[in-house]
Amino acid sequence: MFIATSAFIDFMIDFSRTFVYYNNGYIHQHDLKYVPYLFVIGLFGSFVGKKILAYIPQSKFRKLSLLFILLIGIVTIGQMVTIK
């Protein structure tokens, strides 16, 4: 349930962000040819990720997810401190 919810939220955010990037000139008309490939790659990655998760116990996955969130937070804070 967590994975599906997270994937849906990520998809909706990325989908809406695409329009913002396009309207601000970060995505050009010639870049749109890559969209179908990126969509297929995203589906394939989700399928492979689901298969891999079948071998990881939920308790370990939860701890691993929390560890990655903590590491990302530490790196982000470190980057903010070094910028100033």
Q: What residue segments make up the domains of the chain, in order of their start?
A: 1-53, 57-84
Structural tokens at position 17: 């962000």
Averaged over 30-54, what is the pLDDT?
88
State how far the Cα of 22 lies from the Cα of 7, in Å rounded to an integer.
22
pLDDT on residue 84: 65
Cβ–Cβ < 8 Å for 34, 73: no
Averaged over 43-66, what is the pLDDT?
88
In terms of pLDDT, which residue wins out, 54 or 2?
54
Could you tell me which of 39, 38, 36, 48 has the C-alpha nearest to residue 3? 48
pTM, 2 dp = 0.56
